């Protein structure tokens, strides 16, 4: 999908989801999480018995659970009286139709939005069963707990979309046809959510902007993300030829070191020596020399720029055991090594050092 289409797709989804704002404002204002904690605190405080320097709590015979359930029963009645469930159901239907039409138009279906819409329908169904007394009173506690989860889900989905739109909007301007170089990157065999996608594009953009400092002139060409594809991330970008050349060399060097290091040691972090190896590489310096950049005069500054860029590019490299740069494929190993890497660093969420 072209980046401009991705922006339009998610703007449509964002505007549709914002129809739910007033309902979620109500949910937040009537969220019982704080009240539940206050209630437990009151129960404990009212039964506190001082014995010397110690304080003991005597719970009611019927226990706190029943007290909480009775309180939730009253709150649920008040919630139902105030909340416009019929209007909420209509808005959910609108959001669902918007999602289907938008996805059909752009031939792209965001899984996080689909799951959120399903959760909206589920909690509506849960409420209807409570009204029909298909569930007992204790289930009203679960209703509010699920509502709390729904609020968090809404904030995450909307926040991810905002971040993604900003990451693309900030890097997409009118494309200049002259004096630019093209670069493509594809992270294979890994599925990314919207937040991951936005973070990777931001890291790429940050690395590019840092390397622009090498040129020491005011002819800055902004990084343009001209095409992206969902799932296994694919991005086509264009930018300043010198910066793109250094960027390509640097990321390929990082891939080479990280993949070989993982095969030999099972690690992916870069130590100081390896950082120095990349930032002071003769090949990188040759690229700059050929483009009449005085390497000797600004050696320290060049190393600083490269080190910062390496940090951002390293974060991208470790997100996939198989990467394609301008059509050239790099892989960490055979099928079993790919599986081991995915399980260790991607599925299990093991933290990786990014120096």
Closest CA to 289 of 239, 225, 342, 246: 246
Using alpha carbons only, what angle is made at residue 137 by residues 134 and 143, rounded to the nearest 5 degrees?
85
Tally of helices (H runs) and strands (E runs) in the chain: 13, 7
Which H or E run includes 220? none
Residue 251's SS3 state is: helix
Closest CA to 206 of 116, 293, 310: 310
CA dist 141 and 146 (Å) reads 9
* pLDDT in the model for residue 174: 42
* pLDDT in the model for residue 61: 47
Cβ-based neighbour number of residue 46 at 10 Å: 10
Both tokens assigned to 121: 């329908």
* pLDDT in the model for residue 252: 92
Closest CA to 149 of 113, 119, 174, 181: 119
Dihedral sign computed on CA atoms, order 133, 136, 137, 140? negative
Angle between helices 194-212 and 299-317 (to 10 degrees): 170
Return the exposure string of 294-333: e unless at least 16 CB atoms fall within 10 Å of the residue's CB, then b: eeeebeeebeebbebbbbbbbbbbbbbbbbbbeeeebbbe
CB 240, CB 215: distance < 8 Å: yes
* pLDDT in the model for residue 170: 59
Dmax (CA) for the chain in angstroms is 85
- The whole model's pTM is what? 0.59
Using alpha carbons only, what angle is made at residue 194 by residues 164 and 112, rounded to the nearest 5 degrees?
125
Both tokens assigned to 311: 């940090």
CA dist 13 and 21 (Å) reads 13
Cβ-based neighbour number of residue 353 at 10 Å: 11
Kindly list the distances between the CA atom of residue 289 and the CA atoms of 74, 231, 278, 299, 347, in Å, as whole numbers in the listed order.
Answer: 76, 39, 17, 12, 43
Residues 6+ apart with CB under 8 A from 84: 23
CA dist 282 and 143 (Å) reads 63
* Centroid of chain to Cα 218: 33
Which H or E run includes 219? none
Both tokens assigned to 329: 């494929």
Residues 6+ apart with CB under 8 A from 308: 207, 210
From first to last of the 355 residues of the chain, give the pLDDT tens digit: 556 677 888 899 999 999 999 999 998 887 766 555 555 455 444 444 455 555 444 445 445 456 566 666 777 788 888 889 999 999 999 999 999 999 888 877 888 899 999 999 999 998 888 877 755 556 777 788 888 889 989 998 998 888 788 776 655 444 444 567 888 898 887 777 777 777 888 888 888 888 887 776 545 567 777 677 765 678 888 888 888 888 998 999 999 988 888 888 888 888 878 877 777 776 777 777 777 776 666 667 777 888 888 999 998 998 888 999 998 999 988 878 888 887 776 654 444 433 3
Place of tokens 């996939």: 320
């Amino acid at each position: 999908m072209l980046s401009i289409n991705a922006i339009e797709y998610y703007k449509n989804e964002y505007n549709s989801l914002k129809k739910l704002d007033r309902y979620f404002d109500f949910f937040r204002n009537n969220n019982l999480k704080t009240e539940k904690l206050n209630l437990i605190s009151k129960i404990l405080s009212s039964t506190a018995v001082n014995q010397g320097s110690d304080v003991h709590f005597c719970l009611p015979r019927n226990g706190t659970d029943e007290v909480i359930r009775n309180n939730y029963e009253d709150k649920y009645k008040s919630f139902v009286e105030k909340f416009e469930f019929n209007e909420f159901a209509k808005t959910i239907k609108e959001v669902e139709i918007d999602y289907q039409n938008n996805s059909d138009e752009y031939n792209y279906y965001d899984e996080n939005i689909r799951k959120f819409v399903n959760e909206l329908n589920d909690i509506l169904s849960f409420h209807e069963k409570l009204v029909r007394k298909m569930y007992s009173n204790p289930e009203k506690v679960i209703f509010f707990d699920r509502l709390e989860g729904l609020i968090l889900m809404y904030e995450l989905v909307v926040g991810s979309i905002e971040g993604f739109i900003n990451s693309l909007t900030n890097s997409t301007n009118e494309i200049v046809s002259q004096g630019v170089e093209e670069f493509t990157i594809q992270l294979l065999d890994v599925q990314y959510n919207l937040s991951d996608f936005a973070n990777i594009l931001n890291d790429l953009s940050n690395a590019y902007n840092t390397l622009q400092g090498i040129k020491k002139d005011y002819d800055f060409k902004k990084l343009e993300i001209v095409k992206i594809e969902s799932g296994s991330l694919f991005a086509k970008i264009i930018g300043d030829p010198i910066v793109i050349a250094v960027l390509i060399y640097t990321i390929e060097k990082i891939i080479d070191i990280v993949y070989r290091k993982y095969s030999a040691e099972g690690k992916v972090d870069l130590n100081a020596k390896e950082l120095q190896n990349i930032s002071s590489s003769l090949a990188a310096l040759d690229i700059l020399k050929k483009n009449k950049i005085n390497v000797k005069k600004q050696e320290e500054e060049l190393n600083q720029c490269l080190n910062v860029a390496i940090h951002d590019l390293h974060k991208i490299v470790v997100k996939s055991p198989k990467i394609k740069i301008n059509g050239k494929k790099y892989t960490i190993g055979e099928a079993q090594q790919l599986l081991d890497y995915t399980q260790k660093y991607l599925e299990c969420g093991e933290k990786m050092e990014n120096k």
